[in-house]
Amino acid sequence: MDMNSTTDVRQGSVAHLLEGLATRRIDVIDLTTKLSHATPTLELPEPFANLIDFSLEEVSAYNEPGPYWKHHNIHTGEHIGTHLDAPVHWITGRGGKDVAQIEPGRLTGSALVLDVSEEAAANPDFLLDLHHIRQWEATFGPIPQGSWLLIRTGWEARAHDRQRFLNNDEKGPHSPGLTVECAQWIAEESPLSGIGVETVGIDAGAAAGQEPPFPAHHFLLANDKYGITSLQNLSKLPPIGAAIIVAPLPIVGGTGSPARVLAFVDT
């Protein structure tokens, strides 16, 4: 590398990012729900099988099995807490990518926040429709290629109360989601890499009754688009201008993975 190219690197975009982080001009916001045995998880009705909740199994703790260290075995399902859905998770994406095959570039991008928390507070079965996205675009401009649409519903306030978070009654679960038209547009026409939600899954609680059932899963995962769930702190992000990093475990054959999701925001 010659001197000119070295100077270019030092003055490049990465250098500006590192300087911004070091000087706190760029803040890092954790969008991840903490993972423990108490983290609310999806509850499917019979006869469907459910994943296990997250737990730790002690192997040693500075004792005879390991005098200088402490470590655990992890017991968990793939789709627990803040997690990413890979295409192979759904029948429509069964020939698609597993978690380990998703390109790193698809797991980063612009973070676009669409706030419908007032609508969801008034109606827990609220469905985001395409006209909501068009209204957002009219205010903030076109959706950038490879970006992530993060849907703020205020559901994060329920995350530490399993009953309120899942919001089940005799008719089933009630939580916000997408209309069929919106899910299909995101999957087939939008430049998005994926969506992020504050709820337990990327579909509405009552999505089994939509046609097709669970349209976000049905359309997004069939079209190599991704979903992340159980997000926190979306209120700390601007509608545009933030960047997101989604970091799932690269599980070979994995249909999903718990993920750490971080956002970079100008202070």
Does residue 99 come out as left (phi exceeding 0), alpha (psi in the -120 to 50 range) or beta? Answer: alpha
Task: Quickly tell me which residue has 């075995």 as its tokens.
Answer: 73
- Structure confidence by residue, pLDDT tens digits, 239-248: 999 999 999 9
- Structure confidence by residue, pLDDT tens digits, 61-98: 999 999 999 999 999 999 999 999 999 999 999 999 99
Amino acid in the structure at residue 7: T
Q: For 227-246, give one letter per residue: b (16+ CB within 10 A) or e.
A: bbbbbbbbeebeebebbbbb
- For residue 4, the surrounding DSSP H or E stretch is helix 3-10
SS (H, E, C) 36-51: CCCCCCCCCCCCCCCC
- Which pTM value belongs to this model? 0.94
Residue 1, pLDDT > 50, answer no
- Structure confidence by residue, pLDDT tens digits, 16-61: 999 999 999 999 999 999 999 999 999 999 999 999 999 999 999 9
- Structure confidence by residue, pLDDT tens digits, 142-193: 999 999 999 999 999 999 999 999 999 999 999 999 999 999 999 999 999 9
Give residue 11's pLDDT band: very low, low, confident or very high (50, 70, 90). Answer: confident
**Cα gap 155→167, rounded to integer Å:** 11
**Cα gap 114→126, rounded to integer Å:** 14
Which residues are identified as catalytic? 89
Does residue 159 come out as left (phi exceeding 0), alpha (psi in the -120 to 50 range) or beta? Answer: alpha
Task: Kindly state the tokens that stand for 126.
Answer: 């609220």
